């Protein structure tokens, strides 16, 4: 039987591996293998799935006629593969000359750990699930007919000018980034790349084929994730010291936290912790309100297809967002109650801008705004602005399921972006008066 040489010893060893190929170089073949491999998940890695993948990976390490050998010979060959695996495999030397072989390997992983999602026309009022996908929905007049349009919200690192420069928010597949056009990559084939996928083990949107949006600002205020090492560079600590406080920080840690998008320190007014002031990790980000006519109900899909717990994933998805569908944006200063999104984020709105006629405006002209977005329907334009302003309140609270106990009640920003000297002075002179936030 094909793949029978993949022994139980191999299955046990590789089921526990987070990677098989060297994945230290971002977006290399090994990096992508690890990305797809992770989504098979320990629970989802059936024996047949594992055998099929491992047979492709290690085919060169067994005789070409291994399938015709006896059970004992097969088992010994498989056990030897397991024993010989003492470090991650290097980048394949024949990656480019045998690209099809490696594309098939990654595609196999993709098909096991990911599932393509169907889009839903949220402008179709007769589709019940469409009505429940987004909280903010308006109707616009179009040739005498009222057409529903949903407003979604997206957390972003990009400022207003950059959104215009990028012509909106396209998926990374469509941008051709991250080696996805290489012939060894599954997304180099249109029939694969044109689909939008959910991730099995993570239970959310694929990071490269889907642009994530949400039904309100509560979720996107936590994005980009402060724990995302591709975006931020929080200093790491040993696992047994994961709850160190900021009081343990020094100049070197503060410097390291600013190597990528900067993570800074902010002194804020707090309640509920026995002290009136506190120092926390802080970042700047943006949330954009966008029009949506077709979307993916990721939450519903992963609950049905991956047996995810109800409400664990609250994401919606779109392939991309055209610039013309951006309605408004808000620049935020975020205070992080802990080292992850789920520890809690409190964001203070710094400015709001509205997009129409190809530019951002601080005060929307209702006539021009409605003409640009809603076919001149000013009732719809006013309704959209009202809904957006209801979301973009002065202080926006994010998710906080893992918030510290007691949870600090952040109510004001007293000082933004403390220098190392300022932070040191606070620690030395006012530590008894300050609350220090939790960091990794």
Lowest mean per-residue pLDDT among 260-264, 304-308, 314-318: 304-308
Give me the phi and psi of 393, to 5 degrees please. Answer: -75, 170
Mean predicted lDDT score pLDDT of the chain? 91
What mean pLDDT do residues 81-101 have?
A: 96
pLDDT tens string 243-254: 567 888 888 888
Residue with tokens 């024993």: 83
pLDDT tens string 123-161: 876 667 777 789 899 988 777 778 889 999 999 999 999
pLDDT tens string 103-127: 999 999 999 999 999 998 888 766 6
Q: What is the pLDDT of residue 218?
A: 95
Q: What is the pLDDT of residue 270?
A: 96
pLDDT of 43 > 60? The answer is no
- Is residue 154 a contact partner of residue 210, using CB atoms and an 8 Å limit? no
Q: What is the pLDDT of residue 145?
A: 78
């Amino acid at each position: 039987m094909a793949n029978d040489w993949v022994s139980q010893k191999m299955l046990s060893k590789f089921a526990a591996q987070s990677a098989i190929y060297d994945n230290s170089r971002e977006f290399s073949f090994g990096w992508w293998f690890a990305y797809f491999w992770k989504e098979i998940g320990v629970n989802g890695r059936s024996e047949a799935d594992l055998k099929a993948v491992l047979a492709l990976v290690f085919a060169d390490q067994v005789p070409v006629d291994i399938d015709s050998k006896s059970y004992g010979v097969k088992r010994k060959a498989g056990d030897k593969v397991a024993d010989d695996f003492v470090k991650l495999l290097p980048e394949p030397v024949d990656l480019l000359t045998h690209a099809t072989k490696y594309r098939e390997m990654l595609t196999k992983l993709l098909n096991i750990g990911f599932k393509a999602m169907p889009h839903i026309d949220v402008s179709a009022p007769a589709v019940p699930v469409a009505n429940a996908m987004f909280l903010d929905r308006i109707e616009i007049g179009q040739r005498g007919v009222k057409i529903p349009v949903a407003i979604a919200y997206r957390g972003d690192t990009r400022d207003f000018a950059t959104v215009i420069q990028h012509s909106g928010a396209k998926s990374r597949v469509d941008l051709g980034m991250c080696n996805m056009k290489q012939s060894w990559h599954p997304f180099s084939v249109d029939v694969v790349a044109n689909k939008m996928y959910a991730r099995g083990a993570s239970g959310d949107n694929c990071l490269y084929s889907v642009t994530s949006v949400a039904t309100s600002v509560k979720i996107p205020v936590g994005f980009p994730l402060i724990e995302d090492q591709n975006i931020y560079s929080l200093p790491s600590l040993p696992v047994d010291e994961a709850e160190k406080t900021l009081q343990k920080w020094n100049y070197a840690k503060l410097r390291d936290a600013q190597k990528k998008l900067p993570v800074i320190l902010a002194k804020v007014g707090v309640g509920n912790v026995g002290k009136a002031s506190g120092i926390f990790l802080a970042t700047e980000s943006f949330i954009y309100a966008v029009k949506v006519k077709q979307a993916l109900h990721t939450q519903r899909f992963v609950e049905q297809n991956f047996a995810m717990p109800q409400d664990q994933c609250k994401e919606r998805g779109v392939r991309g967002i055209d610039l013309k569908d951006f309605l408004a944006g808000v620049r935020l200063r975020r205070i992080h109650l802990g080292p992850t999104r789920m520890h809690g984020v409190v964001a203070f709105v710094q400015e709001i801008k509205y997009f129409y006629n190809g530019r951002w405006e601080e005060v929307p002209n209702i006539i021009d705004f409605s003409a640009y977005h809603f076919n001149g329907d000013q009732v719809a334009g006013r309704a959209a602005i009202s809904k957006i302003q209801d979301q973009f309140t002065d202080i926006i609270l994010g998710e906080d399921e893992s918030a510290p106990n007691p949870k600090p009640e952040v109510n004001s920003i007293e000082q933004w972006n403390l220098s190392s000297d300022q932070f040191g002075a606070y620690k030395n002179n006012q530590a008894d008066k300050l609350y220090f936030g939790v960091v990794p």
